[in-house]
Amino acid sequence: MATILDGKAHAEQMLAEVRAGVEARLAQGLRAPCLAVVLVGEDPASQVYVRGKVKACADTGIRSLEHKLPVDTDQARLEALIEQLNSDAGVDGILVQLPLPKGLDAKAALHRIAPAKDVDGFHPVNQGLLLEGLPGHRPCTPSAVMHMLKAYGVPLKGTRAVVLGRSEIVGKPMALLLLEEHATVTIAHSRTVDLPGLCREADLLVAAVGRPGLVEGSWIKPGAVVVDVGINRVEDVALGERIFAAEPRKLETLKTKGGVLCGDVRYGEALEVAGAITPVPGGVGPLTIAGLMQNTLRASQL
């Protein structure tokens, strides 16, 4: 039976470290770090994520400024707000909640954020610094995953790691951070041939695909460490019956509540094979917000 990598507990620890860092600043007579969060439109999931981030700020002593813009905001208005926040010396970090409403160019908006305030780590300058192994803001999800893996003492040097997914937000930076720790890394994606065979070679498997239950138990090397970044809502009972065969409680929730959250890995099957695994929910999700708080504290120290 696999060890559960408790992302929620580890995130609490990271948040406690941030809180201590904020208190140390205040004790030196410095102001609290400040994160500006920009939300355009009323996407319910984005509203939930923003609430979570604002709450984490409150819990750690970081000041948060919420900027809510209407759904019909145009690119010029959004970028003008970003410029205003860039030049505001009282703001340390700027986060534009994604996805943006249709018609807005997310990349162009993100590229407007001053790299020093880009606490999501999505700006090309920060991505370039990561590529070069130089200090800069790292994307929150992969950097927090690394923080947890190190805390659990997961061996990284010389490890054969497979990262499923090549997004700029998770897959690519995850692979680079693992490489920085001397893992031997393969990045897989939708055109990869023989995904199951490749996964079976991995001592460390990171799934960041967004396909519920894609990774079957039989794809996992016995004893491997599995990090499941995917967050998917499943409402289709036929799919649930396939992917939750080894998780009767999840299937039950799906049938009674009409939907259930799950990762990219078939958790019940993987538990039997893996050496350690992150659950969904309660695994990587809470780590991401903790990573954001870390980046915001760091931005205030620049």
Task: Answer yes or no whether residue 288 interacts with ligand NDP by CB under 6 A.
Answer: yes
* CB of 36 or CB of 195, closer to ligand NDP: 195
53 a catalytic residue: yes
**Residue tagged active-site, from 120, 203, 228, 264:** 120
Check binding of 154 to ligand NDP (CB under 6 A): no
The two tokens of residue 155 are 């061996």
Q: Is 265 in the site for ligand NDP (CB under 6 A)?
A: no
From residue 58, give the alpha-carbon distance in Å to each of 33, 44, 131, 156, 254.
Answer: 11, 21, 33, 34, 33
Distances, alpha carbon 29 to alpha carbons 22, 23, 166, 187, in Å: 11, 10, 43, 46
Given the residues 97, 203, 221, 228, select the one marked as catalytic.
97
Residue 228 is a catalytic residue: no
Candidate residues 97, 126, 127, 141; the one interacting with ligand NDP per rule CB under 6 A? 141
Q: Which listed residue (53, 117, 221, 250) is catalytic?
A: 53
Contact of 284 with 169, CB cutoff 8 Å: no
The residue from 28, 44, 102, 191 that contacts ligand NDP (CB under 6 A) is 191
- Known catalytic residue at 120: yes
- What are the tokens at 165? 């997914």
Binding mask 200-239 for ligand NDP (x = CB under 6 A): --------xxxx--x--------------xxxx-------
CA-to-CA separations, 66 to 63, 77, 91, 219, 272, in angstroms, rounded = 10, 16, 12, 43, 44
22 close to 297: Cβ distance less than 8 angstroms = yes
157 makes contact with ligand NDP (CB under 6 A): no
- The nearest distance, CB 145 to ligand NDP, in angstroms, is 9
Crossing angle (nearest 10°) for helices 7-27 and 140-151: 100
Residue 99, preceding peptide bond in cis (omega within 30° of 0): yes
**106-135: which residues touch ligand NDP (CB under 6 A)?**
none
Residue 31 near ligand NDP by CB under 6 A: no
Helix (H, G, I), strand (E, B) or coil at 132: helix
- Cβ-proximal residues to 159 (8 Å cutoff; 6+ apart), any chain: 178, 183, 184, 203, 204
Q: How far is the CB of 5 from ligand NDP (least distance, A)?
A: 13
**Closest C-alpha among 226, 210, 232 to residue 268:** 226
**Please, which residue, 146 or 231, has the CB nearer to ligand NDP?**
231
171 sits near ligand NDP (criterion: CB under 6 A): yes
By beta-carbon proximity to ligand NDP, the closer residue of 91 and 149 is 149
User: Which residues lie near ligand NDP (CB under 6 A)?
Assistant: 141, 164-167, 169-171, 188-192, 195, 208-211, 214, 229-232, 284-285, 288
Active site residues: 53, 97, 120
